[in-house]
Chain A
C-alpha cells in the first residue's frame, strides 16, 4: 500500500460532510493533447473568420471593417476561450474529449475568478516555448499543477465513469470462514462481481491463488462465488429471490 500510494495520482479530499472524495489528477501528456484540440478549434474559427474578412475586403474605405471584428475575435479567443468554457461548464471542449475537468482543490466546481486566473497565467506558463515553465512546475508538484493552477487553487482531474450497479448473483450461498478479514471478504466480493468480465480460465487462475483458504479444492471458483453470495445477500435470499 505505501508504495502504490506514493506513485498514485489519486488524492482524497474531505468534504464538510465528512465524505471522502477520491479525485484522480491528470498528467501533462493528456492535458497537452486536450490543449492541442482546443488550439485546433480556435485556429479553425479564426481561419473561417479570416476567410470572411478577406472575402469582404474590397479595398474601399469600409473594406477592412471586418478585420476589426476579426482582431476582436482573436483577442477574445486568445484570452477568454478557456476562461469562458471553464467558468460555464467546468471544462473546455478539448478537455471534455479526454474526460478531463477543472475543479478547485477542495473539489468544488471552478469559479469565474479561478478560471480567469489560471488561464491568464498561461502567458507565463507557456514561456519560453512549449509550456516549459508550466511543465517544469508540474514536475515538482504532486498534483501536476502549473503556475496558473497554483495561483488559482485549481486541479485538472479525470471525471469518473459512471459506476455500473453489480448484477452478480449465484445459485448457491454458503458461509465463508469466520476468520476472514474485512479486506479479504471485500476482495472475494470484488472477484465475484468482476467475474462476468473474465473468462472461465482466468477465473480459475485467480481463484487458485486462494486455494490455501479453500478446503474443498475441486471448484474454487464455485466456492468463492457462493461465499460472495453469502456476504452480499445472506443465507436464504438466493432461493427466495427466485434466481
Chain B
C-alpha cells in the first residue's frame, strides 16, 4: 500500500491542474466562458473521484480527504451547471413550447376556466337583474367607485384617485397588481388547490358583478370600450395561472404511484413554463390596458380589436407548436 506522501506526490500535479481550471471557470463571467476551458474537466474529475475513494478506504488523513472532497464538490458544481441558450429557449417557448405545455393540461385548464367563467356569468346576470345582487357581490362602496369610474360624463377612465395619471404610471400599476395576482393564484394552489380555486371564483364573482351592473346602467361604451382590448390576454392568463396552481394541488391530492413530494416536484417543474407564459400574457395585457384601452378611439374599433385579440389568443394557444415534438 502506498503511504500518503507517495500518493500525494503521484497526483499533486493533476489536482493543481484541476484547481486552476476550476478557478478559471468560477471567476469568469457567464459570457466569457469558452468550451475549451473545461476540455479535460470530466477526465480529471472522474480520476479525482476514484482517488478520493482510495484515500478514504486507505484511511489517509482528513486534511487530504477534505481537500479532495472540496475539489470534487467544486468540479461537480461546474460539470453539472445547466448551460442555457437563452435565445434558443425563448424561441422554442414562444414558438409552441408554452402552448403545448398548456395543452398537455387541458383537463385542469377546463376546470380552471369553468371555476372562473361560471361565477362570472352567473354573477353578471344576477347583478344586471338587480342592484341588490351587485351590492351583495362587491359591496356598495365598491359599486359606487365603479360607477364613478365608468361614468360616461368623465373624460378618462382610470381607477378612482388615479384619473390624471400618465400611461407609464398605469403600466407599472397594472403590472404590479395583475401579474402579482397571477403568481399568487399559482403559488396558493399548493394548499391542495384551495388557494387557486378561491382566487378564481372570487375574481369571477367580482368581475362578473362589475360587468353585469355597469351594463345594466347603460355604461356600455365606457365599460366595454375600456375592457375589450385587454380582456382576452388578461382573463385567459388568469385561468392559465389557475391551471398551474391546480397542477401543484392535484399532485398532492392525487400523486399516483409516487410519493407526494416527488409528484409535487415534478408537477412544479411542468408548471413553470405555464406560469411564466401566463405572466407574460398579463404583461402584454397591462401594456394594452395602459396604452390602448383608455384612448378615445371609436367604440366599434375598440370592440373589433378586443374580439380579434380573443380569436388570436385562443388560436395561438390552440394551434402553436402542434405537429412538433417538444421536450422539457
**Residues of chain A whose beta carbon lies under 8 Å from any beta carbon of chain B:** 15, 17-22, 61-62, 64-65, 67-72, 74-75, 78-79, 88, 107-109, 111-113, 116-117, 120-124, 147, 150-153, 160, 162-166, 168, 182-183, 185-186, 189-190, 193, 231-234, 237
Contacts and interface: CB of A to CB of B under 8 A. Distances in A.
Interface in B120-136: none
Contact of A166 (B64, B168, B184): B64
Nearest to B162: A64
User: Nearest 10 A-B pairs (CB), nearest first?
Assistant: A71-B172, A68-B172, A166-B63, A68-B169, A182-B59, A68-B168, A19-B49, A108-B80, A163-B66, A189-B61
B166 A190 contact: no
B4 A64 contact: no
Where chain A touches its partner, the secondary structure class is: helix
A124 B191 CA distance: 8
Contact of A109 (B6, B48, B81, B168): B81
A166 B63 CA distance: 6
B59 A17 contact: no
Interface stretch (B142-150, B174-182, B310-318): B174-182
B269 to A, nearest CB: 6
A72 B176 contact: yes
Interface of B: 3-6, 30, 45-46, 48-49, 52-53, 58-64, 66-67, 69-70, 72-73, 76-77, 80-82, 84, 164-166, 168-173, 175-176, 179-180, 183-184, 186-188, 190-191, 195, 248, 261, 264-265, 268-269, 271-272, 275-276
Given A71-B172, A234-B6, A150 B275 contact: no
B76 A124 contact: no
B61 A193 contact: yes
B49 A67 contact: no
Given A108-B77, A151-B268, 11 more contacts: A19-B52, A64-B169, A68-B166, A74-B176, A109-B80, A113-B272, A151-B248, A163-B67, A164-B63, A186-B59, A237-B5
